[in-house]
Chains A and B, each alone.
Chain A
Amino acid sequence: MGMKPSPYATKIPYEEKDNKVVGGRPNPADRSDAIDKVTGRARYAADYNLPGQLIGKVLRSPHAHAIVKSIDTSEAEKLPGVKAVVTRDDFPDMEVEHAASGELMVNFRDVTRNMMAREKALYDGHPVAAVAALSESIAKEAMKLIKVDYEVLPHVIDVRDAMKDDAPLLHEELFTKGAGIEPDPSKKSNIATRMESKLGDIEEGFKQADFIVEHESNTKAAHQGYIEPQASVANFTEGGTIEVYTGTQGHHVFRAQIAKLLKMDISKIKVVPAELGGGFGGKNNVYLEPLAAQLSRKANRPVKMVMTRDEVFRATGPTSGTNCKVRMGCTRDGRITAAQAELNYQAGAFPGSSLPLASITVFTRYDLENVLVVGHDVVCNRPKVAAYRAPGAPMIAFAVETAIDDLARQCGMDPIDFRLKNAAKQGTQTHFGPPLGQIGYMETLEAAKASPHMNEPLGPNQGRGIASGFWFTIGNDTSATINISEDGTASLIFGTVDVTGGMRSAFAMIVAEELGIPFEKVRTQVGDTSALGFNFMTAGSRGTAAGSMAVVKATRDAIHRACEIAARKWEVETDQVVWENGHARPASANVGDFEPLSLAQLCKEATWFGGTIAGHAEINVAMGGPGFGTHLVDVDVDRQTGLVKVLRYSIFQDAGKAVYPAFIEGQFQGGAVQGIGMALNEEYIYSDKGTMENPGFLDYRVPVASDVPMINTHIVEVPNPDHPYGVRGIGEVPIIPPLAAISNAIHDAVGVRLLDHPMSPPKVLKAIDEAAPAQAAE
């Protein structure tokens, strides 16, 4: 984000045609990953074991904020079975240098401090030392022998508190930078950045308004909650090379970061991406990898490290907690005239929250003339935030989409009609940059309006809510290689980590479509860093959308090679041969009368006519094809307990063209349930000492099967004009609307407006009780 689009970035125009495989439902048993996952054979990072490996553990700060005065590891090193101990002294310090890591940027000065505290421990769970030993029990014993002398400092947890002038400062060298700010060297601050973007004249917009709504929302940090804790196995050899087996959303990015942090050549490192047990943005960052590598270097043995769930909660993720203020105005007939927002986002211990992304999404569903968006990126004594599915967007949508609901009510308009009246469409100017291209937002609203869900009856204390979301589809570096085996079957290697199996399946479908061979004749796998050129992460909803561009190009490259072999055999020019229905054929009758040749037949001839059939692509895919979605939810509110039960849920989202619809449904449902969990249950809770009080799944409660109903999905298809199969990114939009949709449904049910997250029973009950005298008086 934020980078100028390259004129060399790849776009391929949408090709409208009748597909045989794409968009259908191939036998899922032929998914490259499915059998391994149901039989326990799939290998996740924690399932890798290397001969002679040691077990590594991390000693973490018990304090939210403390100077690390000294670390004495001598006793631990003497314990029999301990093979290596590392602290801050074992890693080079880093200069300020930024790099993209998923949707967020990282600064290596901070990355090295986050993986291992240097001057200070900045949050409960911040690593201060790591040990490698013969067994986990010895490593744990050794950690007790490490003496860390802390000078405990005052801490700050809440974003509003951290912004105050008298707040404890996390970083001595931090001065606010950004829009409209001249850094004042006398004024240190926890506000790392101020951002501002605008369109039109906001004051003029409010003058034109007949109704104005102001909302202030507060959200707590929420964790990605992947079920697989971080795990890595590193093997640093005497020859100075490293192999790392790890759970990552981007092995090439991890490789570059490990190289930087350990001051090594990138090519000396191989990162093998294990099957990934969920990431959702939380596995875009290195935590264990450099520690395991450095322990391995010191011990001259492979080192395996696996986090506990407690460590996952205290030291990885989460998303930003936020404070958002939204002010919107509209005319009596429902036209929005002004939209203003202030976004205050926790970054955690180091600058770099999801603010830049959230700032883009704020109002980007609506066609607006006057917009002002101001944001602050604020450090506080929490783990450094990581991307979490549409990073930053659900929280600001919570404030905006509830304000939209209240504006619609003031105008006496249906909330869908109000949105339709203001909906963004092709050509709508955004407040952050380019106008929107061909999009399908209105289509999602129309689909919601026409859905049977709208006619479902509601009982007492039940209500219906609607909300919408927008997320972009990033492109970036993407690589793929396809090798046609001697029997005419295809083996595709690609570089974008496939978390769900959806990419492996979708790419196999596209290869089958392009080559004209059956789905089950295509084997797809993610290649490690030695197999392909640099490939960006699984982030920004880019996986299938960007990945398939490289797959199409690589496959067409192989087809060109196949046609070349046919041309040589027929003694014609390559451009006189076409590929149709899995066969090379003469382009026209003038070329000659030749029997079409199948891929298998061509493979038999390949050696004589020049060599194996293969194709590859290394491209920078252009950003494009944003996604829009609209959610409908019905809730039941228990006035006695404040419990909100989700009764019915429907999702309408533009997927561009669906490659494998069942996987898209799964993304819609899974994203929405994460949003429901965030809306109703999930929150980081801190003690007055700044330590996390609920670092486990018992107290940090993600939704279970009995918490949610069946979720209807409606795939809207407005093709992405810059993709040969019309694909848009779809993975992130579904988590954006639920918070706002549920708040709107609660309002519809019991007439109270919840803007404090999570909307857990005590908060809902309090709101109902506070409103009771007012409602009784009405």
Chain B
Amino acid sequence: MTKHHIQTTLNGDEIDVLVEPAQSLLDVLRDELHMTGTKEGCATGDCGACSVTIDGNLVCSCLVLGVEVGGRNIETIEGMANGDQLHPLQDKFIEHVALQCGICTPGLLIAAKHLLEENPDPTEEEVRYGLAGNLCRCTGYQKVVEAVLDAAQVMQK
């Protein structure tokens, strides 16, 4: 199968990668680039574990083809912290014990960051609807919602 050469930006780095025409962005990230922080829970866009942003838009990377992302700006969980400085959302997830098994955590963090960029001061209900595309089976969501609301307060200061 002929592979396509893709040049794109991943977490601020210019990268080159060869991708199969049918490979999803998720598979390209995980299998070709070894960026395994983005998780596969369903590969059908239902669970949000593979959430990333492309040019600032929140997407399920399992629903995007690798060949589509040439020349784009992709952000994944690996780019969320600034050096050894965690993003306030990462800090608050830890502080509120908003993660148990942690498999949904990268996707939830990416989705929460996007939510707060769109709506810096959300209500509880807005957080719940804003994260409704990200399944978490461990926490029952409460501590996740508390962490996002707390992070929003910190980030506004």
User: Which A residues contact B (CB, under 8 angstroms)?
Assistant: 28-29, 31, 33-44, 46-47, 49, 137, 224-229, 275-280, 306, 308-309, 499-502, 662-663, 665-666, 669-674, 696-698, 702-706, 708, 710-711
Contact = CB atoms under 8 A, between A and B. Distances in A.
Given A277-B102, A278-B137, A500-B138, A705 B78 contact: no
A499 B138 CA distance: 10
A277 B42 contact: no
Contact of B40 (A46, A278, A674, A704): A46
Interface string B83-105: 00010001101111101111111
A227 B145 contact: no
Given A277-B102, A705-B144, A705-B145, A698 B44 contact: yes
Contacts of A499: 100-101, 138
A227 B49 contact: yes
Report which residue of A225, A227, A228, A279 has the largest number of chain B beta carbons within 10 angstroms of its beta carbon.
A227
A710 B142 contact: yes
A227 B133 CA distance: 13
27 contacts: A29-B91, A33-B102, A37-B102, A38-B109, A39-B86, A40-B78, A41-B37, A42-B102, A44-B103, A137-B22, A227-B49, A227-B103, A227-B104, A278-B101, A279-B101, A306-B40, A499-B101, A500-B100, A500-B101, A501-B100, A665-B97, A666-B143, A669-B141, A674-B140, A704-B132, A705-B144, A708-B142
Nearest to B49: A227
B41 A227 contact: yes
Contacts of A666: 97, 100, 138-140, 143
B46 A38 contact: no
A500 B38 CA distance: 19
**Lowest 6 A-B CB distances belong to which pairs?**
A40-B37, A277-B103, A37-B102, A673-B140, A669-B140, A697-B46
Nearest to A55: B31
B94 A502 contact: no
B131 interface: yes
Contacts of B131: 704-705
A46 B103 CA distance: 11
B128 A44 contact: no
B129 A706 contact: yes
A409 B35 CA distance: 58
Given A277-B101, A666-B97, A698-B46, A229 B40 contact: yes
B66 interface: no
B141 A276 contact: no
A43 B36 CA distance: 8
A38 B86 contact: yes
Nearest to B105: A37
SS class, residues of chain B in contact with chain A:
loop
A225 B47 CA distance: 11
A705 B134 contact: yes
Nearest to A673: B140
A39 B90 contact: yes
B27 to A, nearest CB: 8
Nearest to B86: A38
A711 B137 contact: no
A306 B42 CA distance: 11
Nearest to B145: A705
Report which residue of B20, B22, B124, B143 has the largest number of chain A beta carbons within 10 angstroms of its beta carbon.
B143
Interface string B116-157: 000000001101110111111111111111000000000000
B137 A225 contact: yes
B43 interface: yes
Contact of B76 (A40, A229, A669): A40
B142 to A, nearest CB: 5
Contacts of A43: 36
A271 B36 CA distance: 21
A665 B140 CA distance: 10
Contacts of A224: 137
A535 to B, nearest CB: 19
B101 A38 contact: no
Contacts of B128: 705-706
Nearest to A500: B100
Nearest to A712: B142
A711 B127 CA distance: 16
Contacts of B127: 705
A28 B94 contact: yes
Contacts of A702: 135, 137
Contact of B132 (A37, A44, A662, A705): A705
Contact of A672 (B39, B86, B133, B140): B140
Contacts of A308: 43
B63 interface: no
Given A227-B41, A669-B140, A698-B46, A137 B94 contact: no
Interface string B37-70: 1111111101101000000000000000000000
Report which residue of B40, B91, B137, B139 has the largest number of chain A beta carbons within 10 angstroms of its beta carbon.
B137
A39 B139 contact: no
A678 to B, nearest CB: 12
A340 B140 CA distance: 34
